[in-house]
Amino acid sequence: MPSTRLFVARLAGCAVFDAQGDRLGRVRDVVVVYRQVDAPRVVGLVVEIAGRRRVFVSIGRVTSVSSGQVITNGLITVRRFEQRASETRILAEVLGRRVTLGDGSGDAVVEDVAIEEFGPGEWQVSQFFVRRPKTSPSPFAKGATLFVKWEDVRERTRGGQSQSAAQLIQTYSDLLPPDLASTMLDLPPERMLEVAAELPDERLADVLQEMPESSAADVLIGLGDERAADVLDAMEPDDAADLIGQLPDERREALLQLMEPDEADDVRMLLQYSPDTAGGLMTTEPIILSSDATVAEGLALIRRHELAPALGAAICVTLPPFEPPTGRFLGIVHFQRMLRYPPHERLGSLLDTTTEPVHADTSAAEVSRILASYNLVQVPVVDANRRLVGVVTIDDVLDRLLPDDWRSSDSDALSTPPRTAQVTLGTGAVPLPRQRIGRRVGDGSTR
């Protein structure tokens, strides 16, 4: 019977099911162990289950792979995956690696890796899909590709040369920013910086906003000053202020000097406030219009694709000027109320006078109480002269209220009960033992 061969980049993202057909999660990587003579042996998969937790599934637990689906016998541990020193992750560490071809024709870069089943529950690396360096100066030219057996290449990393992250980024192109942030945090520090360096500014800005501030600051420090300033320009002002506030004073001022003046001014203003106040939580980019603006004008601004949903929940109405700090704050108009009136209706006649703004020095706890008490998505923030300086949205408050490690699926405040963890995915809930020991295939150890 012919052996089964799979390419790891195509396996990434495939759904994982148990024997009863209940979905457990998705494949995020393949773990191998290098051996002295034979090809690297596959020992398991990294699978993302509920809560963005990444767990290890022994390759011996995989019963079949077909039509983009991985079937297991359902016996998996839900302890967070921790990579061992002897292990290598193909997507995170092998793709983009430079290799030397055994026929003497030069170097190439690994774009995919094939694994092959050579016995029941026994898999190993069989082939590399590689690309040679391009020979044309044209920016549209690409090097030739070819398949080579594992034994016909020699893997190496040149001193001072970074491993290409382009192929890894393509593999993760369908991930939402929070998921990509979680994935990057699982990478080795050097690899995480390589991935960050390859991401476009807008994409990296979205990802950094989803990371813990300390981790995001480490990534920012690893970028050059000009690139870091471009990324900060692409971030929301409040997130940029939180991040730049983690840096030493000298680096902070250097980046502010390189940022766009308007963006830098917003960040400087936010840095003046304590993090635990409305001023420290707010964003300086709400929708602001005059009282003479119409419902049609307001809805047109809310329809903008790049606008966060929480900011689109209401429009702030002020006297000119209409950039924070604005003229005197008049009130807000809720999105739902605008839908009940004709397009030509003036916003000044639809003001919600019951929603009082908070002052910039109001405590974060008081802002949270106001949002909860009155079922608000955002609350305006004014200065001592009742000029609008920003709004605090519900997501800003949640970031402050949740524990510092809430993004980690191992956070005590968000974790499942200690004896069992119930994975609710697919068509049913699968209770899985939290401390179950699974036999490791290939190296005789256990998870």
Kind plus residue range of the DSSP H or E element containing 394: helix 394-401
pLDDT in tens, the chain (447 residues): 456 788 998 888 899 998 888 889 999 999 999 887 788 999 999 998 887 788 999 898 888 887 678 999 877 778 888 888 888 999 888 888 888 898 888 889 899 999 998 888 789 999 999 989 887 777 667 788 999 998 888 876 544 445 667 767 777 777 888 888 888 888 888 888 888 988 889 999 999 998 888 899 999 989 889 999 999 999 988 889 989 988 888 889 999 999 999 899 999 999 999 888 999 999 998 999 999 999 999 999 999 888 888 999 999 999 999 999 999 999 999 999 999 999 999 999 999 988 899 999 999 999 999 999 999 999 999 999 999 999 999 988 887 777 665 555 444 444 433 333 333 333 333 333 333 333 333 444 445
Give yes or no for a cis peptide into 357 (omega within 30° of 0): no
Report the pLDDT value the prediction gives residue 190, as an integer from 0 to 100. 84
Strand partners, 294: 346
At 291, the amino acid letter reads S
* C-alpha to C-alpha distance for 383 and 399, rounded to whole angstroms: 23
Report the pLDDT value the prediction gives residue 407, as an integer from 0 to 100. 58
Structure tokens at 300: 């047109």
Structure tokens at 404: 């510092």
Q: Which domains does the chain have, with CATH numbers?
A: 5-90 (2.30.30.240), 173-274 (1.25.60.10), 288-399 (3.10.580.10)
* C-alpha to C-alpha distance for 199 and 37, rounded to whole angstroms: 37
Report the pLDDT value the prediction gives residue 43, as an integer from 0 to 100. 92
* C-alpha to C-alpha distance for 337 and 259, rounded to whole angstroms: 38
CB 360 within 8 A of CB 272: no
CB 178 within 8 A of CB 66: no
Report the pLDDT value the prediction gives residue 424, as an integer from 0 to 100. 34
Report the pLDDT value the prediction gives residue 244, as an integer from 0 to 100. 92
Report the pLDDT value the prediction gives residue 5, as an integer from 0 to 100. 85
At 210, the amino acid letter reads E
Could you give the dihedral angle defined by the CA atoms of residues 234, 237, 239 and 240, in that order, rounded to the nearest 10 degrees? Answer: 70
* C-alpha to C-alpha distance for 337 and 347, rounded to whole angstroms: 10
pTM to 2 decimal places: 0.67
